[in-house]
Amino acid sequence: MLVLLTGVSGAGKSSLVKELRRRDYVAYDADDDGFTEPLPDGTWRWRESLVRELFAGRGDGLVFFAGCSEEQANFEFDFKVLLSAPREVVVERLRTRTTNSFGKSKDELERALADMEWVLPVLCRSADLIVDTTRPIDEVADAVLDAIASRSSGAS
């Protein structure tokens, strides 16, 4: 099963990937694992050929892929998880995070907040599960894994 973990910058994608890896799941972070590239306008996109190569060689197991880019619409995911947090939480996360510099400048923060206005409704429409990431990351991981287990067992 191929699972997309998506959401705006600061929603908790990287933190969830780390927690899933800690639990020995196969999980990739589009930004941290080299599957994105910058564009001249300061935005980022997925490196589609690398993502396709990764997915082609993944086998039949459970694989998580975290990222948020227009290119995600070009891929077939078995399950889509939208990670969500209130605006003020996202702002604080972007301001204080140390693993990724995106969102630190005024322009990037404004772009991230503008994205929340139009990206979230689009992502909500295609999500199989929406998870509030203001709770502890282990609870977020439990919610995602429980939903996948329910889906896999045929429960609705």
Query: How confident is the model over 61-114, as pLDDT tens digits?
Result: 899 999 999 899 999 999 999 999 888 887 787 777 767 666 666 777 777 777
In whole angstroms, give the CA distance from residue 155 to residue 149.
Answer: 9
Which of 46, 25, 22, 35 lies closest to 149, judged by CA?
25
Domain limits for position 6: 2-152
Task: Give the global pTM.
Answer: 0.88
Q: Quick one: DSSP state of residue 8?
A: S
Q: How many domains does the chain have?
A: 1
Q: What integer pLDDT is reported at residue 156 of this predicted model?
A: 47
Element containing residue 108 per DSSP (H, E)? helix 106-126
Q: What is the mean pLDDT of residues 140-148?
A: 97
Distance CA 45, CA 62 (A): 24
Contact call for residues 89 and 140 (beta carbons, < 8 A): no
Joined together, the tokens standing for residue 26 give 């196969």
CATH number at residue 88: 3.40.50.300
